[in-house]
């Protein structure tokens, strides 16, 4: 399907994909609690750490699936908004169109490019509601999103050079990440609705 005939994305689809990601993160967080104990029990019974299987292991696949889906849907929607904003004012958005997609995953710039993009789109929208979200709300959304990403990476990094008997399932990190993502989600929904009007 060509770009011109592709069905436009809507804010409703962005909200649905974001909700799916949030649900997946909470499912994995809740699965981590009994799974951490199951891991300890299996380790204590002599099972080799590379042979241990828990419900958490099965559930963790939900996060990358929903995250990639949400990234693609959101990027397509933001691209449409970028096109509209720059049609009226070529300098309305500081980032060029390819960054709509890549800014979320390119190391280092992913720490601030998406926030800049969203704030520029809110400014270009020019509604009072959109303008009111710039500042405290966009900062809250972005800090909680980055916090979620960092908490997720702490769990991964802590497994490197882990001592013997280390339990890689960290319910406290999973729950903290889910809470941070919930905070980001609550503001994100307001941003999406404002941009979609």
Write a three-state SS string for the chain: CCCCCCCCCCHHHHHHHHHHHHHHHHHHHHHHHHHHHHHHHHHHCCCCHHHCCCHHHHHCCHHHHHHHHHHHHHHHHHHHHHHHHHHHCCCCCCCCCHHHHHCCCCCCHHHCHHHHHHHHHHHHHCCHHHHHHCCHHHHHHHHHHHHHHHHHHHHHHCCCCCCCCCCCCCHHHHHHHHHHHHHHHHHHHHHHHHHHC
Q: Contact 26/183 with Cβ under 8 angstroms?
A: no
Mean pLDDT throughout 153-174? 80
pTM: 0.90
**pLDDT, tens digit, 9 for 90 and up, residues 74-98:** 999 999 999 999 998 999 999 999 9
Write down the mean pLDDT value for the chain.
92
Mean pLDDT throughout 26-34? 97
Mean pLDDT throughout 158-186? 88
Whether pLDDT at 106 is above 70: yes
Note the pLDDT of residue 167. 86
Note the pLDDT of residue 1. 46
């Amino acid at each position: 399907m060509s770009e011109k005939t592709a069905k436009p994305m809507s804010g409703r689809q962005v909200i649905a994909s974001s909700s799916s990601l949030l649900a997946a993160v909470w499912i994995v967080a809740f699965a981590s609690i009994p799974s951490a104990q199951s891991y300890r029990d299996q380790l204590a019974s002599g099972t080799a750490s590379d042979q241990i299987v828990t419900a958490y292991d099965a559930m963790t696949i939900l996060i990358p699936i929903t995250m990639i889906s949400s990234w693609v849907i959101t990027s397509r929607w933001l691209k449409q908004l970028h096109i509209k904003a720059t049609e009226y004012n070529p300098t309305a958005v500081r980032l060029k169109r390819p960054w709509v997609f890549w800014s979320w995953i390119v190391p280092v710039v992913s720490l601030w490019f998406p926030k800049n993009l969203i704030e520029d789109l809110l400014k270009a929208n020019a509604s009072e509601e959109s303008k009111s979200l710039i500042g405290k709300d966009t900062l809250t959304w972005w800090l909680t999103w980055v916090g979620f990403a960092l908490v997720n990476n702490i769990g991964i990094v802590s497994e490197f050079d882990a001592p013997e008997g280390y339990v890689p399932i960290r319910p406290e990190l999973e729950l903290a990440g889910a809470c941070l993502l919930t905070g980001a989600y609550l503001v994100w929904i307001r941003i999406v609705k404002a941009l979609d009007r």
